[in-house]
Amino acid sequence: MSWITAEAAASRLGVKPQTLYAYVSRGHITARQADGNRRQSLYSAADVAALERRRRGGRARKSVAARTIAWGDPVLESAITTVREGRLIYRGVDAVTLSAKATLEEAARMLIGHEPDAQRASHAATKGETAKARGYAFLAARAAVDAPSLGRRPEHLAAEALDLIGGLGVAFAGANRTNALLHEHLAALWKLDARGGDLVRRALVLVADHELNPSTFAARVAASTGAPIAAAALAGYATLSGPLHGEASARALLFLETAMRDGAEAAVNATLARAERLPAIGHALYPMGDPRAASLLKAIKPSKPLNAAIEAAEAASGDRANIDMALAALTLECGLPRDAPFLIFAGGRMAGWCAHAIEQRATGRIIRPRATYTGD
């Protein structure tokens, strides 16, 4: 494969460097580090040429719409989160760096970008057989009674968002630990030691937001109508429950369990024999590997069998493990229940859902796309 510099790629496409980085983040152009120079990136000449031909030829309106809806071009502006040159950025701050010390609540304040005008309230424990069910019940109850977001000040909405994060922690744990942070609620629920609790804290920050993913888009659509922030969060929570989004770690968990039982090579071969893709490997926004997964796995220090399973999957696919694999590894390493990856994802992503809901309200616009009719 032939590689060219950023200057050459941007010149051929007639775009600014920022636009070139956006093409990389959306999987249109493959990039890699230059040999011997970690500060320089090189770009696939073939990908640049293909994109150049597509731009030169133009695209029909229907083609543009179809490509936009799935890993396509941006559909709205946001100052919250971006993926640039293989890094996840929260309002100008590297998410991996932030996760080293910050709590989810601190990350949420940063993502929301408005200082709350009130303190967190005390929450009663929500009833439900599972933590996931209690999360649904809590958000649904709040969505039914909270005031609409339409016409309210961002500072008030920020306070409501932080209150929702606190209430979700109480709902997950099934008990109110006064002034506890979300990772502390989960650590108490799972009876973790200090190290386990800190790993959960780190994971929550790493998944706090990820640009315009399906659940975040659902939250923005709800908020665009003026619905309560809790309703927007509930829309995100429900969307996250799909097996192709927030439940992706479940498949990774099954793969790792098989590898622990039968051996890494046997688990890989069994997956491929079923004509299935190896789970939680690769990510369209990270051609060089998911930095969230790399950071969390480094902190976890998986056991040799776990590490061997992950490395075998990476070797067989030629790609790197993503955050879903890291959450599955965290689940096994710390002896967490099977729903732990979803709870971590949902708890952390509450910060992003609320931030995007508030940002969407600030635009004053409703999200109402058109469909291409294909019927009789």
- Phi and psi, residue 195, nearest 5°: -65, -45
Which DSSP state fits 253?
Answer: H
SS (H, E, C) 132-181: HHHHHHHHHHHHHHCCCCCCCCHHHHHHHHHHHHHHHHHHHHCCCCCCCC
Please name every residue paired with 33 in a beta bridge, in sequence order, or none if there are none: 41
Residues 178 and 243 sit within 8 Å (Cβ to Cβ): no
End-to-end CA distance of the chain: 46
The question of whether 28 is a catalytic residue gets the answer: no
SS (H, E, C) 60-119: CHHHHHHHHHCCCCCCCCCCCEEEECCEEEECCEEHHHHHCCCCHHHHHHHHHCCCCCCC
Catalytic residue among 94, 156, 198, 245: 245
Catalytic residue among 210, 283, 290, 339: 283
The question of whether 283 is a catalytic residue gets the answer: yes
d(CA 210, CA 238): 17
Catalytic residue among 319, 324, 339, 356: 324
**So which residues are the catalytic ones?**
245, 283, 324
